[in-house]
Structure 1
């Protein structure tokens, strides 16, 4: 079994005018690093990359790379709608000092396998650093298949990993089985938290999951438990994570919900999102608060380093 890892697709903190809130973003990075998370993924879907201007993206790249300063791994989501823009932003991130970039294929049109492979061929040839492929069929309208992935790995040594945001673990397992014999070091990460343990037990490497923005201690403890083959504790934490996942049911899209939960827990950010995302209403906010209070005792029993609410709420 491979050594597991859990990375956080980090939320991006904005002020009320839609500008980057530098101090709040630093607060988030410190919170996640101190919580033991294995790496930060900046400007993934949870980071609202799709709503950010190019200048903002470069500003955030410079901020996170300089502030984190190698305390943990930093990967940057750099996908744009054109090959040229993707290569340009990716190389900016690599030059700034990022450990790698994560690239989702173009969205809006559903692409054929041939078009997806052609896109990544062009991107991989132009990027001067490590690349993680990002498969999210619910958003792109097409799947980055195991067969296409294997073809790409045979051509491009800088493709190092893959984030598979699908609910069906069987699809991720097929990817692992397709590539692992020829490329045993290729990193396969699930995009939904509930699949973390199943991923690792199937020969994968772990997860990139947004709920770790709120509870990094839980997910780093989960990694430790599975690496130590403590399956009883893995199962206990699975129950906690399944409970945390109730946040996804409170509102859609889930990013404002995650930010509100972080605010309630006591992380110093305001919780603003880019338009058209709407701030949680009073009923949703109460539901979030109730769930976090229910989780407090559950987590405290299982995760020794958990300190509860950073600022106690009424």
Structure 2
């Protein structure tokens, strides 16, 4: 069961907010990134978001960000969408990262609301327009007020939708009414940024998802959307509910998704490496619990 809206997928449908693999010494691991990206695509992802929150963008350098994009592009080729996180609290720096991402081979940029300074909506809008004007890449807005302290208000989204290069939204607003308002008044492609909302937003016209949990179970996330597209809505609901315990363990247990994703990937023998300070690694009990939830899901 598809809608006219779900056919507009500028960056694909099932995107993984990919972790950034590091070596045990804490350096960027481009070989690990190539291996992980290749596995994610083989298992069902048709797009990857690099250098986002889950990718530890606050603690990777500009050079590392560009190197990661180039390494993953080399691994997955041109048929997989690569969206590069470029958002910072500084408009000039964000523009610089957008231009660097374009040069490194990204297909689009993910731009978060400027944080800490808490700009008013007029300034938020000006920031996004400046980034969209600066490069030739399409832009995915990232609305996550729980981290930035500032919403992209629905009225601001509607105005920004008129910009030819602002084409999508990663929605972590936890404001379904606001999301529905923007969906009703624009052609913006919405991507669920919270794993518990994957099916719910898809059912009302989202283009897909940007999933952290997909780092560990890309096929299970993709299957939710495949099943809905096939018209099996009850089955799609069942699949969403089956993955919920793992979503809760990874995203709702008080630790950042980066920490839990890396802990689980390490247990699964996939490239991960340590997190960078100020984050701390998950403890043994947490990693054991994550592996148990993963095993229970795959056993069904």
TM over 0.5: yes
Name the CA distance, whole Å, in 2 between partners of 1:44 and 1:129.
Answer: 17
Helix, strand or coil for the counterpart of 1:239?
Answer: helix
- What's the offset of the Cα at 1:176? 1.1
Structure 1 distance, partners of 2:286, 2:254, is: 7
Work out the CA distance in 2 between the residues paired with 1:40 and 1:264.
Answer: 22
Q: Distance in 2 between matches of 1:249 and 1:133?
A: 24
**Structure 1 residue 164 and structure 2 residue 161: aligned?**
no
> After superposition, what is the alpha-carbon deviation per residue over 1:106-132, rounded to whole angstroms, capped at 9, x for unaligned?
111222111111111222221222111
- Please say if 1:15 is aligned against 2:18: no
* CA–CA separation in structure 2 for the residues paired with 1:297 and 1:61: 34
CA distance in 1, matches of 2:57, 2:255: 17
Q: CA deviation at 1:187?
A: 0.7
Alignment of 1:262 onto 2:250: no
TM-score for the superposition, normalised by structure 1 = 0.88
Cα separation, 2, equivalents of 1:22 and 1:95: 17
Given that residues 172 and 190 in structure 1 are in contact (C-alpha distance below 8 angstroms), is that contact kept between their aligned partners in structure 2?
A: no
Question: Distance in 1 between the 2:225 and 2:59 partners?
Answer: 32
Instruction: Describe the shift of the 1:124–1:261 C-alpha distance in structure 2 as closer, same or farther (beyond 3 A).
Output: same
Deviation at 1:19, TM superposition (A): 1.0
Aligned to 1:86: 94
Q: Contact 1:264–1:289 at 8 Å: present in 2 too?
A: yes
Q: Which of residues 211, 218, 222 in structure 2 aligns to 1:209?
A: 211
Considering only CA atoms, is the larger Rg found in Structure 1 or Structure 2? 1
Q: Return the TM-score normalized by structure 2.
A: 0.92
Equivalenced residues, count: 291
Answer whether contact 2:26 2:273 (CA < 8 A) is retained.
no
Q: Which runs of 5+ in 2 are unaligned?
A: none
Structure 1: where are the runs of 5+ without partners? 299-314
List per-residue Cα deviations over 1:119-171 (Å, max 9, x = no partner): 112222212221111111011111111211121222x2011111111234333
Contact 2:98 2:131 in 1 (8 A): no
**What is the CA-CA distance between 1:278 and the residue it aligns to?**
1.2
Pairing of 1:110-189 with structure 2 (within 5 A): 110-154=118-162, 156-179=163-186, 183=187, 186-189=188-191
Task: Provide the C-alpha distance between the structure 2 equivalents of 1:67 and 1:24, rounded to a whole number of angstroms.
Answer: 11
